[in-house]
Every structure is written in C-alpha cells, then in structure tokens.
Amino acid sequence: MARYIVKVQPRPTDRVYIKFSDSQEKQYLIQGDTTIELSETPKEITVRQERTWRRIFRSWRCMYVTITSLDSEKELYFPVFRGIDSAGLTIKEDSAKLPHDDTSEERKESLSKNRKFQETIHQHEK
C-alpha cells in the first residue's frame, strides 16, 4: 500500500470528506495535510462537505485538491473550482478547466448555450 498526502485548497471551514473510487465505500476526513494509505493511485475523487446546523444552506467553494505520493513524490492535481455541498462532487484528475483553457470551439459552444438560455429567460419575463 502506498502512502499519500492529501491537501484541499482553500482549507475548509467545515468537515470535508474524500472518497477515492466508486468501488470504495470508505471516506476519509481531510483536516489540514492528511496522510492516507491507498492500494492504488487514485484516478478520481468524490469531495463532500459535512454540514453543521448553522451552515446548512451554505456551500463551500473548493479550488483544488492535490494528492502527493510519499514514495515517488508524484503530485496528482484535481481541479474543482466549484461549490461543494453535502451531496458530494466527483472529479477526475486534470478534468476541470477554466474558461480561458477551453478550445475556441468549446468556448463558442458554451457561449451559444448561455445566449440561448438568457434569451429564453428574457422571453418568459415579458
């Protein structure tokens, strides 16, 4: 089994749990730099925030999760750039992109969808 250090940025205000594959039921509580042991290198993770009764309607915006192998010092990068809630969000390694990283075709398609959505909303407001 290999050992990994898991870091979540920015540091969460509530308890954050990470599950490392769909087949694995165990979730790890991440507090600061957490060291865990895994049988294989993670390809995807599920990030979930535990809610307190005071913050039940708030989500926490996670920027990214890094997992560093203590054996090989290889770092895996899981970009999130979204709000995390109690339902959880599954992220594959290097899967999320910021708009400026899109190809021009992907960006045109995204802008077209947003424009159609805005037009639909505007028509219903009349």
92-124 residue pLDDT tens = 886 766 666 667 787 788 788 888 888 888 777
pLDDT of the residue at 55: 60
Q: Which two tokens stand for residue 56?
A: 């039940």
pLDDT of the residue at 25: 76
> Residue 5: beta bridge partners?
35, 68
Fold that domain 2-95 belongs to in CATH: Lipoxygenase-1 (2.60.60)
Average pLDDT over residues 9-16: 80
Where along the chain do its domains lie?
Answer: 2-95, 97-126
14-55 residue pLDDT tens = 788 899 876 567 888 888 888 998 888 888 899 888 876 666
70-82 residue pLDDT tens = 988 889 988 888 8
Question: What predicted TM-score, i.e. pTM, was given to this entire model?
Answer: 0.67
The burial of 42, by beta-carbon neighbours within 10 Å (0-12 exposed, 13-18 middle, 19 or more buried), is given as: buried
pLDDT of the residue at 6: 92
